[in-house]
A and B are shown apart, each in its own frame.
Chain A
Amino acid sequence: MPEYHFPIPGSVDEEKIIIFVRKHWVSFIGPFLLSAAMLLIPGGLIIGLFLSEFDILKGFVVHIVVLGLSIYYLIAVTVAFVSFISFYYDIYIVSRDYIVDVVQEGFWGRKISQISLLRVQDVSSNIQGFLPTLFAYGDVLVETAGEQTQNFLLKSVPNPQEIAAKIMQLHNDLIETEGRHHQILEAEGALAPGVIREGGHHAGEEGSLTAKQPTGENSPASQEIPPQKDFQDSSNNSGDVQIPQAHEESSVPKSSEKVQETEDESWPKTQHNGEGEISHNELDKGGEIDLK
Chain B
Amino acid sequence: MYIFAIIWFLFMFVYVAFNAYGIFRVVKMRIKGDIIPVVVLIYVIVIAVIIVATVILIGALDWGKHLQDLIKI
Contact = CB atoms under 8 A, between A and B. Distances in A.
Given A63-B70, A71-B11, A81 B31 contact: no
Contacts of B54: 66-67, 70
A67 B4 contact: yes
Given A5-B31, A70-B50, A84-B39, A62 B61 contact: yes
A33 interface: no
A2 B32 contact: yes
Contacts of A91: 31
A227 interface: no
A74 B71 contact: no
Contacts of B63: 63
A107 B31 contact: no
B32 A108 contact: no
A272 B6 CA distance: 96
B8 A60 contact: no
Contacts of A73: 50
B57 interface: yes
B67 A60 contact: yes
Interface in B36-73: 36, 39, 43, 46-47, 50-51, 53-54, 57-58, 61, 63, 67, 70-73
A6 B29 CA distance: 5
Of residues B7, B15, B46, which shows the largest number of chain A Cβ atoms within 10 Å of its Cβ?
B46
Nearest to A65: B57
Contacts of A252: none
Interface string A1-25: 0111110000000000000000000
A85 interface: yes
Count class of interface residues, chain A: 20 to 34
Nearest to B63: A63
Chain B interface residue bracket vs A: 35 or more
Contacts of B4: 63-64, 67
Contacts, number: 79
Nearest to A107: B22
Interface in A56-103: 56, 58-64, 66-67, 70-71, 73-74, 77-78, 81-82, 84-85, 88-89, 91
A110 interface: yes
B26 A85 contact: yes
Contacts of B57: 66
B65 to A, nearest CB: 9
Interface string A141-174: 0000000000000000000000000000000000
Nearest to A85: B26
Nearest to B15: A74
Interface in B1-32: 1, 4-5, 7-8, 11, 15, 19, 22, 25-26, 28-32
15 contacts: A2-B34, A5-B31, A56-B73, A60-B71, A63-B4, A67-B4, A70-B51, A71-B11, A73-B50, A74-B51, A77-B47, A84-B39, A91-B31, A107-B25, A107-B26
Interface of A: 2-6, 56, 58-64, 66-67, 70-71, 73-74, 77-78, 81-82, 84-85, 88-89, 91, 107-108, 110
Name the 10 nearest CB pairs between A and B, nearest first. Answer: A60-B70, A70-B54, A3-B32, A6-B29, A107-B22, A2-B32, A2-B31, A66-B57, A59-B70, A67-B8
